């Protein structure tokens, strides 16, 4: 079972470059999420998609955009990367936003120079 798959696993960018993190889940889940994890800050929600066709901002959305491409896929885009966006990014999914168990991908480690 693949579960939640993220690509790429590692990426180094220069300030101002753009990139897209891809996420796909094979569990037929309705809700998908993007988190970032930073030392001392814990995990913080960037954006989420409660169902196909909807997206909403989380706690730290500035500098990011998302696309819920279909029920399986949810991408996170950095239009103009900044050093403050150096982090580990996690995609997650759940069957139901309110009651569902959350399943995480392995993470994407991004460094912005």
Partner 1 sequence: KQEVTQIPAALSVPEGENLVLNCSFTDSAIYNLQWFRQDPGKGLTSLLLIQSSQREQTSGRLNASLDKSSGRSTLYIAASQPGDSATYLCAVNNNAGNMLTFGGGTRLMVKP
- Interface residues with partner 1 (CB under 8 A)? 4, 33, 42-45, 48, 50, 56, 58-59, 90, 92, 97-99, 101-107
Nearer to partner 1, 72 or 97 (CB): 97
* Helix or strand holding residue 65 (H, E): strand 64-68
Number of other CB atoms surrounding residue 58 within 10 Å? 16
| Least distance (Å) between residue 6 CB and partner 1 | 8
Alpha carbon distance 15, 35 (integer Å):
21
| Least distance (Å) between residue 10 CB and partner 1 | 11
């Amino acid at each position: 079972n693949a579960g939640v798959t993220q690509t790429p696993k590692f990426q180094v960018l220069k300030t101002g470059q753009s990139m897209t993190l891809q996420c796909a889940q094979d569990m037929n889940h309705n809700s998908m999420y993007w988190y970032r994890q930073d030392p001392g800050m814990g995990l913080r929600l960037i954006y989420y998609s409660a169902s196909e066709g909807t997206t909403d901002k989380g706690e730290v959305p500035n500098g990011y955009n998302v696309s819920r491409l279909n029920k399986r896929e949810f991408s996170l885009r950095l239009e103009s990367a900044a050093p403050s966006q150096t982090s580990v990014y996690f995609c997650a999914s759940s069957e139901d936003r309110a009651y569902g168990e959350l399943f995480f991908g392995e993470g994407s480690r991004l460094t912005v120079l």
